[in-house]
Amino acid sequence: MYRRKESLIGVKQKDLKNIIFAYEPIWAIGKKGDEAIVGEDLREMSLYIRKVLADMYSKKVAFNLDVLYGGSVDQFNAESIFTEGDVQGFLVGRASLDPKSFLEIIEIVNSAQ
C-alpha cells in the first residue's frame, strides 16, 4: 500500500471529495463470477483502504469516501458482494458486455441500497 500512498502526495483533504477509490485485485482480473472475492474479504480490504486514508487524512474523511470494487462481479454474486463488502458500487467488466446481465446488476445494487 506504500506506493498507493505516494499517488496521493499533494492531494489535499478538501479535494478527496472528487476522488472515487477503486479496488480490483490482480488475481480477479479476467475471472468468472464464481471465482470472485467473498463479501467478508472485500469488507476487510475496504476497511484497510479506509484505515490508510484515515492515517493520511482523517477518520471522518476516510469513512465518507466511495470505494468501488472491480473483479468478477456478475448478476449471481453482486448482491452478496455489495451487501457484505462495504463498497458503494462496482466496476463491472465482463458482465457489462451482456446488457441483460448488466441491467440485473444495476437492479440488484439499487434494491440493496
- pLDDT tens, 16-46? 989 999 998 887 776 665 667 888 999 999 9
What is the CATH code for 19-112? Answer: 3.20.20.70
From CA 43, how far away is CA 40, in angstroms rounded?
5
CA 107 to chain CA centroid, nearest Å: 17
The H or E element containing residue 14 is none
CB neighbour list of residue 113: distance below 8 Å, 6 or more residues apart: none
Q: What is the pTM of this model?
A: 0.84
Q: Is the predicted pLDDT of residue 47 greater than 80, yes or no?
A: yes
What is the residue-averaged pLDDT of the chain? 88
CB neighbour list of residue 85: distance below 8 Å, 6 or more residues apart: 37, 39, 42, 43, 46, 69
pLDDT at position 33: 55
